[in-house]
């Protein structure tokens, strides 16, 4: 009987080894709907543009310089929006989804090692307790502890962060065994203790007692970290000079047996603070990640990297194993760069008035690019969103910053088994230990106290002058030149033929903190816009550089849409928010009359666009209210964040402004969070954001009132229907701004002084329009 059972087990194992580690599902219905929409919408756009162009080539007695200018501005805006729409269809051409089967992976002894990179910069904006929760969740992943190494980059050099690491290491001795013993899914302690439903599968007095003991220890851990934050140095040295600090966090013991036992049961934890001097550029997050690449090369030298933001914890301990299902597949692994999971958020309200969960990015854009691997398994071109870098089989590789990722080669042109040492030093810098690690398949001795020389070498690798005269940031590691190092690096690497896959399991793999107030949301959007436009106006513009380097034009379209959409949105939306309204105030028609056959064309284009957007929102599991929120936020960001971010990028291009980076605030304001959860906008933000939005809404309110007057008293409904409808739609979608100016009295309203200033700006717009168009 035992032999029969053994034979059955062996047979099951053999069958499991033959089963695929992952499968891919093609969404045929979505493909049919998307391509049908593309066909009919394209035809309508051709007719619309023909109608506009015909105005300039056919004689019209009503044509004047004023009307010609207005028509020209609207025509250019319609061309830009049409071009943007065309680029965006590359994401919708062939959407697919993937499922991984981590239970089919080989045994732990055959799994490769993984380094986890976590970046933080400012403990005042990124609270230490929250950062340590991310560290603990990474340490507690369902992965062999001796093959897991966690690195924290502290760009602020704050003492409280280093002390927090020590406390996290101490608490991990209790937290990790508890998670393993009971199979806890959510392994960030703060999130776990806040979600009682996690305990639904457990019972018994022993578990309850253990849980209470761990919770008590966690409260002590938080108290100790906060005490050190109170009495210690909480000030970030983000803008100050400071030396490099590399420290392996471990128990103080001289007993090698104890250290070796801890290595087997506890992941390695390393604190990294790179050197900063005002005389040397530090390249923001890209520079910090490149330092982590070098330091980890001489300490753990793992072939894979998981990149995490400091506020993003592992919500499913199997995430690394799920990613390995793709990378260990011999059919795609030789050229697989990374495995991406969508970043989801734990603090999003049901209403999500700021569209903080970025539905279009994670449910449409990235999923839409997933198709390339299916169509061209030999033509490697899947695009990825935010990225990181790693090293695999003597090669540096890239991975998604906000997802669990695997590999992509960054240095295939520089590393060879018999490479010239001098050329390697010119590319990678003067560290012999690091160059040796490029060819080293085994990681260095994990008992770091025996390798003091390695820590001294790590200090050199983290120095600010190490990259001088090397290829770091140019051809090696993360690319410099944009504050969005992830996008820029991903584009450069995918141009070299590497691929990525996207996996969206039912359970979120990672949960982060979304923005919950308007100020943080618009500031973040401005920073992202600046980074994207940096690439768009450089020699690496995807429309110019991409077609010459990528294997298909579709990939270039994907990257071009991301790089250009801020420009292709803010210019047309500023035009559509002002020109039709000013012309309506001055009695100049810009659109066909209701009785004109082209009225159907304009109506079809509008209804086709919003109905397709509504379909995408509903088909991805969201609601009609979320569709309204996305429409509103799209308008708000286009006239503010996209404008300022684009201007910032152009100013940097001509040398009038230096690049800058400010981390998104992760500290929750109680009042702002309360308003967010209630679905009420908080307008406590810069006047630079408020004034344009309020001024445009006031202008649209005035033009709508005049338009209604024309309809009622002059009977011009047929002539001005579309121009009356446009301000009505703007007012309807932006009602929270109207409410913030005229109705609300709480602290989150738009200040009366801003409302007055916006009204003055609207009057200026009107007089300028009167001068130009009359």
Is the C-alpha dihedral spanning 593, 595, 601, 604 positive or negative?
positive
List the one residue out of 498, 387, 365, 317 whose CA is nearest residue 89.
Answer: 365
> Can you give the three-state secondary structure of 102-131, one letter per residue?
HHHCCCHHHCCCEEEEEEECCCCCCCHHHH
Task: Determine the distance from the C-alpha atom of residue 118 to the mean position of all C-alpha atoms in its chain, rounded to a whole number.
Answer: 15
- Degrees to nearest 5, angle at CA 23 with 17 and 29: 160
DSSP codes joined into one string, 307-330 = EEETT-EESSTTHHHHHHHHHT-T
Closest residue by Cα to residue 119 from 337, 286, 345: 286
Banded model confidence at residue 134, pLDDT cuts 50, 70, 90: very high
Of 115, 142, 311, 486, the catalytic one is: 486
Distance from C-alpha of 426 to C-alpha of 476, rounded to nearest angstrom: 11
Q: In angstroms, rounded to a whole number, what is the distance separating the alpha carbons of residues 123 and 160?
A: 8
CB 357 within 8 A of CB 345: yes
- 392-424 per-position pLDDT tens digit: 332 333 333 333 443 334 454 455 444 567 777
Task: Specify the 3-state DSSP secondary structure of 768.
Answer: helix
Q: What is the pLDDT of residue 769?
A: 84
Number of neighbouring beta carbons within 10 Å of residue 255: 9
pLDDT over threshold 90, residue 636: yes
Q: What's 388's DSSP letter?
A: E
The CA distances from residue 17 to 10, 13, 111, 190, in Å, are: 11, 6, 14, 38
Instruction: Give 284-337 pLDDT, tens digit per residue.
Output: 888 888 899 899 888 888 888 888 888 889 999 999 999 899 888 888 777 787
Mean pLDDT throughout 433-455? 65
Burial class, 430, CB count within 10 angstroms (exposed 0-12 / middle 13-18 / buried 19+): middle
- 340 vs 359: CA distance, rounded Å: 15
Q: d(Cα 299, Cα 376) in Å, to the nearest integer? A: 38
**Beta strand pairing call for 388-391 and 396-399:** antiparallel
- Cβ neighbors of 355 (< 8 A, separation 6 or more) are 626, 629, 630, 633
- Give every CB contact of residue 213 below 8 A, 6+ residues apart in sequence: 174
Pairwise CA distance, residues 524 & 518, whole Å? 10
Residue from 115, 155, 311, 316 carrying the catalytic annotation: 155
Alpha carbon distance 466, 434 (integer Å): 12
Sheet holding 245-249, edge to edge: 245-249, 268-273, 148-154, 114-120, 304-309
pLDDT tens readout for residues 71-126: 999 999 999 999 999 999 998 988 888 999 999 999 999 999 999 999 998 888 88
Helix then strand then coil, in percent of the chain rounded to 5, is 55, 10, 35
Class of residue 441 by CB neighbours under 10 A (exposed 0-12, middle 13-18, buried 19+): exposed
Structure-block tokens of residue 549: 């380097």
DSSP code, position 351? S
- The whole-number pLDDT of residue 401 equals 33
Q: Is 389 helix (H, G, I), strand (E, B) or coil?
A: strand
Work out the average pLDDT over 13-18.
54
Q: How confident is the model at residue 60 (pLDDT cuts 50, 70, 90)?
A: low
> pLDDT band at 143, cuts 50/70/90?
very high
Return the pLDDT at 301. 85
Other C-beta atoms lying within 10 Å of the C-beta of residue 340: 31
Average pLDDT over residues 610-636: 96
Query: DSSP labels for 243-279?
Result: --EEEEE------HHHHHHHHHHS-EEEEEE--B-TT
Q: What is the pLDDT of residue 258?
A: 54
- Asked if 571 contacts 646 with a C-beta cutoff of 8 angstroms, the reply is no
Mean of pLDDT over the chain? 83
d(C-alpha 499, C-alpha 340), whole Å: 11
Q: 475 vs 409, 417, 480, CA distance in Å?
A: 11, 19, 10
356-384: pLDDT as tens digits: 988 888 888 877 766 544 333 222 222 22
Which residue bears the tokens 């140019």? 474
* 486 a catalytic residue: yes
**Whole-angstrom Cα distance, residue 408 to residue 393?**
11
Phi, psi (rounded to 5 degrees) for 36: -65, -40
Q: Which tens digits make up the pLDDT trace of 665-717?
A: 655 678 888 999 999 999 999 999 999 999 999 999 999 999 999 999 999 99
DSSP string, 418-478: T--HHHHHHHH-S-HHHHHHHT--SPPPS-GGG-HHHHHHHHHHTSTTTTTTS-BTTTBSS
Q: Give the number of other CB atoms < 10 A from CB of residue 431.
A: 18
Contacting residues for 143 by C-beta, under 8 A, at least 6 apart: 111, 114, 317, 320, 321
> Which helix (H) or strand (E) segment is 98 a member of?
strand 96-100
């Amino acid at each position: 009987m035992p032999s029969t059972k053994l034979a059955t087990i062996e047979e099951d194992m053999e069958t499991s080894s033959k089963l695929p580690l992952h499968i891919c599902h093609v969404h045929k219905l979505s493909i049919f709907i998307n391509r049908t929409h593309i066909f009919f919408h394209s035809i309508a756009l051709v007719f619309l543009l023909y109608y506009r162009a015909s105005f300039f080539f056919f004689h019209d007695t009503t044509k004047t310089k004023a009307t010609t200018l207005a028509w020209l501005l609207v025509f250019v805006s319609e061309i830009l929006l049409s071009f943007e729409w065309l680029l965006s269809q590359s994401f919708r051409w062939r959407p697919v989804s993937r499922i991984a089967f981590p239970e089919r992976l080989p045994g732990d002894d055959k799994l490769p090692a993984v380094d986890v990179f976590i970046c933080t910069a400012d403990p005042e904006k990124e609270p230490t307790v929250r950062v340590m929760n991310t560290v603990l969740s990474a340490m507690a992943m369902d992965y062999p502890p001796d093959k897991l190494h966690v690195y924290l980059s502290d760009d602020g050099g704050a003492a409280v962060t280093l002390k927090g690491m020590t406390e996290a290491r101490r608490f991990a001795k209790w937290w990790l065994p508890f998670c393993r013993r009971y199979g806890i899914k959510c392994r960030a302690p703060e999130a776990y203790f806040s979600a009682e439903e996690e305990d639904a599968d457990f019972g018994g007095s022993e578990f309850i007692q253990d849980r209470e003991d761990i919770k008590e220890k966690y409260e002590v851990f938080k108290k100790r970290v906060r005490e050190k934050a109170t009495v210690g140095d909480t000030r970030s040295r983000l803008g100050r000079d400071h030396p490099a600090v590399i420290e392996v966090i471990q128990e103080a013991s001289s007993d090698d047996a104890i250290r070796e036992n801890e290595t087997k049961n506890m992941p390695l934890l390393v604190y990294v603070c790179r050197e900063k001097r005002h005389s040397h550029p530090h390249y923001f997050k890209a520079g910090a990640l490149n330092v982590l690449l070098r330091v980890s090369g001489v300490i753990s030298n793992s072939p894979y990297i998981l990149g995490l933001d400091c506020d993003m914890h592992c919500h499913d301990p199997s995430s690394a194993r799920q990613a390995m299902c793709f990378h260990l597949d011999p059919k795609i692994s030789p050229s697989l760069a990374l495995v991406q999971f969508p970043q989801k958020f734990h603090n999003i309200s049901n209403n999500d008035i700021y569209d903080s969960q970025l539905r279009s990015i994670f449910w449409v854009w990235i999923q839409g690019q997933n198709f390339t691997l299916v169509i061209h398994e030999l033509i490697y071109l899947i695009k990825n969103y935010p990225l990181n870098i790693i090293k695999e089989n003597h090669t540096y590789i890239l991975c998604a910053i906000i997802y669990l990722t695997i590999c992509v080669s960054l240095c295939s042109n520089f590393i060879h088994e018999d490479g010239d040492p001098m050329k390697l030093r010119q590319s990678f810098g003067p560290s012999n230990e690091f160059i040796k690690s490029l060819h080293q398949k085994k990681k260095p001795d994990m008992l770091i106290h025996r390798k003091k020389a390695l820590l001294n070498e790590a200090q050199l690798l983290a120095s600010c002058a190490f990259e001088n005269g090397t290829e770091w940031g140019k051809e090696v590691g993360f690319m410099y030149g944009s504050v969005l190092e992830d996008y820029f690096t991903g584009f450069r690497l995918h141009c070299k033929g590497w691929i990525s896959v996207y996996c969206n399991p039912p359970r979120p793999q990672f949960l982060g903190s979304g923005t919950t107030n308007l100020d943080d949301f618009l500031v973040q959007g401005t920073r992202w816009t600046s980074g994207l436009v940096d690439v768009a106006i450089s020699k690496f513009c995807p429309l110019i550089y991409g077609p010459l380097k990528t294997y298909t034009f579709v990939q270039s379209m994907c990257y071009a849409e991301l790089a250009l959409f801020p420009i292709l949105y803010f210019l047309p939306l500023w035009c559509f928010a002002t020109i039709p309204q000013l012309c309506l105030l001055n009695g100049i028609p810009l659109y066909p009359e209701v009785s004109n056959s082209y009225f159907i064309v304009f109506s079809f284009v509008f209804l086709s666009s919003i109905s397709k957007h509504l379909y995408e929102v509903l088909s991805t599991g969201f609601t009609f209210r979320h569709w309204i929120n996305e429409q509103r936020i799209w308008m708000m960001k286009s006239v503010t964040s996209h404008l300022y971010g684009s201007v910032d990028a152009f100013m940097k291009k001509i040398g009038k402004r230096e690049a800058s980076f400010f981390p998104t605030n992760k500290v929750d304001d109680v009042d702002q969070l309360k308003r967010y959860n209630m679905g009420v906008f908080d307008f406590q933000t810069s006047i630079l954001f408020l004034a344009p939005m309020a001024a445009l809404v006031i202008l649209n309110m005035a033009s709508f009132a005049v338009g209604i007057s024309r309809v009622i008293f002059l009977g011009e409904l047929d002539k001005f229907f579309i121009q009356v409808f446009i301000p009505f739609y703007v007012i309807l979608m932006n009602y929270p701004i109207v409410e913030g100016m005229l109705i609300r009295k709480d602290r989150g309203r738009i200040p009366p002084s801003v409302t007055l200033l916006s009204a003055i700006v609207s009057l200026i717009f009107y007089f300028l329009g009167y001068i130009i168009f009359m």
